[in-house]
Amino acid sequence: MRTSTLLAVALIVALVWVRPNSALLKSAVAATVVLVLFGLRLVWRFVTARCRGNRCRPHQ
């Protein structure tokens, strides 16, 4: 839910800021935003797994 909300906000901001005339450029901006967010998510998962940040730590 949080990722899709951030994705929608980033897409709207990018389209308003750039204000392209062509549909190809609009779809390129949208695709770039989606790919960047997907890549950031993968990098975050890799970094947390490498630093052991995703371990379950039950309270005693």
pLDDT at 24: 79
Residue that the structure tokens 């800021």 belong to: 17
SS (H, E, C) the chain: CHHHHHHHHHHHHHHHHHCCCCHHHHHHHHHHHHHHHHHHHHHHHHHHHHCCCCCCCCCC
Decide: 13 and 29 in contact? Cβ < 8 Å: no
pTM of the full structure: 0.57
Query: Per-residue pLDDT for the chain (60 aa), expressed as one digit of tens each?
Result: 677 778 777 777 777 777 768 877 777 877 887 888 888 888 988 888 888 776 677 766
Q: Which long-range contacts (CB under 8 A, 24 or more apart) does 5-9 make?
A: 6/37, 7/33, 7/34, 7/37
